Amino acid sequence: AAMDSGAARKELDIPTYTERLEARLGKSREMMRVVLNKAKSNPKRVALAEGSDEKMIRAAYQLEEQGIAEPILIGNPNRILRTAEELGLDFDPTIANPRDGEWDHYADRLHELRQRKGLTRSEAGELIRRDTNYFASVMVEMDDADAMLTGLTHHYPSALRPPLQVVGTADDANYAAGVYMLTFKNRVVFCADTTVNLDPDEEVLAEITKHTANLARSFNVEPSAAMLSYSNFGSVDNEGTRKPRGAVKLLHDDPEVDFPVDGEMQADTAVVEDILEGTYDFADLDGPANVLVFPNLEAGNIGYKLLQRLGGAEAIGPMLVGMNKPVHVLQRGDEVKDIVNLAGVAVVDAQDDSEGEL
């Protein structure tokens, strides 16, 4: 007769699904707790571009209540206050209403930034009044907010384009990229690029790797990076495998790079210690990689989603790296907890920016 599976598990000391889930959530909660506590030590102003959205309002309430951030809801005040009341949220949110006629200086600024990209002053005025992604981007660019979150009600590219145009990349960066932090039972990996660059060349891959390594450090994780491909250190030589290999060479020649990085390598080489220490013991990595850089957007986006859904990882992201100010573009369907987590990441990022200026 079939043995009772619970008893069999006990006998073999196999953790139950709930135990595994708890262990994994424990790790990711611990990672996020570090970030959220740091955010609380010096909360920053976060512009929520989709301020009328119910999830954004719930998130704003939590951010304010827990002292993680000072949220600014962008949208129609009557609608926002009515929704907050219907949700039973007792708070007095900071709201910026793009239609209340006080924002000519935002339209002027948008025009100044984009006039040589074909944008007229009257079009800039329309964008400020009607597209809260432009409004929030200018708000951040003009330092009226420290960070921006959007994306819940838009397709990813259309939410991303206004901040790319207005906020732009950091002084030492040319490319933004989207990173997911995935936490497993005893392991954390940062996957890039999962959302932005369709077909990064070796220079872009190298830059993405540096941004992602920096992000890992902000979570107190010492980065160790693998440039992923379908070959191991030249075992296949063609245009596809030369690209990640070239990126590793750029990083090895870069005096600023102070973390181990190697490749190209297959994904199992990157994460299985025995393979790295056996066949490829010459590799620069001391142990399994925790920064996984994918060769293109198909691989990155598909890869992280498989890890999340089949590998049972807890995913935090997409965290946009390489920007001049903290901006994060959520995915449609993301939950309140995702908004709160990304706001926490944005606040910590903004703290580092302002400390850098001191």
As measured in angstroms, the least distance from the Cβ of 159 to ligand ACO is: 9
As measured in angstroms, the least distance from the Cβ of 193 to ligand ACO is: 8
Sign (positive/negative) of CA torsion 272, 277, 282, 285?
positive
Measured at the CA of 93, the angle between CA 92 and CA 97, to 5 degrees, comes to 125
What backbone torsions phi and psi does residue 187 show, to the nearest 5 degrees? -155, 145
In the three-class reduction of DSSP (H, G, I as helix; E, B as strand; rest coil), residue 201 is classed as coil
Residues that bind ligand ACO (CB under 6 A): 117, 156-157, 160-161, 164-165, 169, 175-176, 195-198, 301, 318, 331
Residue 206 or residue 265: which is nearer to ligand ACO going by CB? Answer: 206
Residue 43 or residue 322: which is nearer to ligand ACO going by CB? Answer: 322
CA distance 358 to 340: 27
Name the residue type at position 235. S
Q: Are strands 177-184 and 187-192 parallel, antiparallel or unpaired?
A: antiparallel
Residue 71 or residue 318: which is nearer to ligand ACO going by CB? Answer: 318
As measured in angstroms, the least distance from the Cβ of 103 to ligand ACO is: 21
Residue 276 or residue 320: which is nearer to ligand ACO going by CB? Answer: 320
Residue 62 or residue 195: which is nearer to ligand ACO going by CB? Answer: 195
Residue 76 or residue 331: which is nearer to ligand ACO going by CB? Answer: 331
Which of these, 151, 164, 193, 163, lies nearest to 342 by C-alpha position? Answer: 151
Asked if omega into 193 is within 30° of 0 (cis), the reply is yes
Residue 179 or residue 285: which is nearer to ligand ACO going by CB? Answer: 179
As measured in angstroms, the least distance from the Cβ of 208 to ligand ACO is: 9
As measured in angstroms, the least distance from the Cβ of 213 to ligand ACO is: 18
As measured in angstroms, the least distance from the Cβ of 278 to ligand ACO is: 35
Residue 319 or residue 347: which is nearer to ligand ACO going by CB? Answer: 319
Residues 6 or more apart in contact with residue 108 via CB below 8 angstroms: 121, 124
As measured in angstroms, the least distance from the Cβ of 17 to ligand ACO is: 27
As measured in angstroms, the least distance from the Cβ of 136 to ligand ACO is: 16
Residues 6 or more apart in contact with residue 311 via CB below 8 angstroms: 182, 184
CA distance 326 to 233: 35
Q: Give the number of C-alpha atoms closer than 13 A to the C-alpha of residue 45, restricted to the C-beta side.
A: 17
What's the longest Cα–Cα distance across the chain? 79
Q: Give the number of C-alpha atoms closer than 13 A to the C-alpha of residue 201, restricted to the C-beta side.
A: 2
